[in-house]
Structure 1
Amino acid sequence: MTMKRIFIIIMLALAVAVNAHADTSLYEKCEKQKSLTTVYVTRAMLDMVVNTQPLDERTKALLSENIDNVLIVTSEVDKGIEFLAKLSKDFTSKNGYEMLMQINDGKENVNVYQKKISVGNNQYVVSVRSEKESVMIVMEGMLKLEDMVRMTGVMDKNRAKSKLKSAKPSKPTK
């Protein structure tokens, strides 16, 4: 994953997020690591994005009504990449997460997890790992899977068909 792609993912996540009160334990774990870059967006900043940026109506509605928070964590350092890989092991059914999608194309590993917080309220985690960098995006709110996929770009239109055809269903995590 290139820096340009990471930047685009971060900008999309910033453009999507509305209310920020990210899973504080996850945020605190990541914030303490010097090998990671964390982006935490507050409600005030998200409201500012809605009010100051030229956005289509669908995106404005998502920002102002559906998303409670966004946390973005990145690293290009081996220690940080290892930390995020270890942290990803916590996204199991034992902890309330369901794996929705797993893609491994030899260059990148992409995992998408969902945790139901309450009726209609979900947490989505997108974890993208390669040898040289790692990105984790955590979004909470009244989001549908389609919204999260669209905003994070995890299913790039040019690659979606081939990746989905080659992706094998993962075994349930115990």
Structure 2
Amino acid sequence: MKKAILIAVFALLCTGAFAQSAKAIYGKYSGQEGVEGIYISESMFKMIGGIPDLPLGDMPMDISPYLKSMKGMYLLNTSNDSQLYDDVQKLVSAGKYELMMEVNDGSDKVNIYTEKSGNMITSFVLLVRDSSECVFICLDGQISEEDFQKLISEAMKNA
């Protein structure tokens, strides 16, 4: 029984460590010269999520129900990409992230990763690298796979 409790505690600590990794990457690079950093907190997502019928750009789809469950968003954009790219690669390969999509077009590369717990997507990572810049976006929160599919499907219909 003690062994099971220790394993459960260790698993929870590891999960927390992975959740902190995106925050750590953001903390490492945000504020450096040549790096644009944007952080959106859970409180801001809850406030924005309370706005009824919040559209996504020009698309007539309401995203407010999905925003309430977001925990944070970290965005970094830099022209000095080599170390940022390597750090994000370590993040996604060390954790429970699954590669969902990869695009390679010459020097342009786009990777999308998700981390799941059961049927809930708990983290979404977008990593874009081209010859002049690197963009890292990590969105933490909870959205069911079904809701995520609906959101993507609706966005594709309206695109």
Find the residue that maps to 2:106 and give its secondary structure: coil
The CA RMSD measured in Å over matched residues stands at 3.1
| 4+ residue runs over 4 A deviation | 51-54, 147-150
The 1:44–1:142 alpha-carbon spacing in structure 2 relative to 1, beyond 3 Å, is closer
Contact 2:26 2:74 in 1 (8 A): no
* Number of residue pairs aligned between Structure 1 and Structure 2: 128
Answering whether residue 102 of structure 2 is matched by residue 99 of structure 1, we say: no
Q: Spell out, residue by residue over 1:89-112, the C-alpha distance to the aligned partner (whole angstroms, 9 max, x if none).
A: 2112x5222111100122521001
Match for 1:30 among 26, 29, 50?
A: 26
Aligned-pair CA distance for 1:84: 2.0
Match for 1:72 among 71, 75, 88?
A: 75
Structure with the higher strand share, 1 or 2 = 2
- Give the TM-score normalised by structure 2: 0.64
Structure-1 residue corresponding to 2:7: none
Q: Spell out, residue by residue over 1:73-132, the C-alpha distance to the aligned partner (whole angstroms, 9 max, x if none).
A: 1112x2xx112210132112x522211110012252100111224652421111011111
Structure-1 residue corresponding to 2:65: 61
- Could you tell me which amino acid in structure 2 is paired with residue 146 of structure 1? Q
Greater CA drift, 124-133 or 105-114: 105-114
Find the residue that maps to 2:54 and give its secondary structure: coil
Contact 2:49 2:66 in 1 (8 A): no
Greater CA drift, 36-45 or 121-130: 36-45
Q: Distance in 2 between matches of 1:67 and 1:46?
A: 6
1:80-159 to structure 2, matched below 5 A, reads 81-90=81-90, 91-92=92-93, 94-117=94-117, 120-143=120-143, 144=145, 145-146=148-149
Q: Distance in 2 between matches of 1:139 and 1:147?
A: 18
Q: Which runs of 5+ in 1 are unaligned?
A: 1-21, 159-174
Percent identical pairs in the alignment equals: 20
Structure-2 residue corresponding to 1:50: 49
- Give the TM-score normalised by structure 1: 0.59
Q: Distance in 2 between matches of 1:31 and 1:139?
A: 15
> Higher RCO, 1 or 2 (CA under 8 Å, sep at least 6)?
1
